Amino acid sequence: MSDMNEWNRQIIAEFRANDGVVGGDLAGMPLLLLHHTGAKSGLERVNPLAYQRNGNSVAVFASKGGAPTNPDWYYNLVANPDVTVEIGTETHSATARIASGEERARIWSTQMEAFPNFAEYEEKAAPRKIPVVVLDLG
> Which domain CATH number covers 36?
2.30.110.10
Nearest Cα residue to 35 out of 16, 55, 63: 16
Q: Which domain does 47 fall in, by range?
A: 2-137
How many domains would you assign to the chain? 1
Taking the chain (138 residues) in consecutive chunks of 10 residues, what is each chunk's mean pLDDT?
A: 80 96 92 97 96 96 96 97 97 98 98 95 96 96
Residue 96 has what pLDDT?
A: 98
Phi, psi of 83 (to 5 degrees): -135, 175
The pTM for the full model equals 0.93
C-beta of residue 134 within 8 angstroms of C-beta of residue 96: yes
| Alpha-carbon gap, residue 2 to 110, rounded angstroms | 32
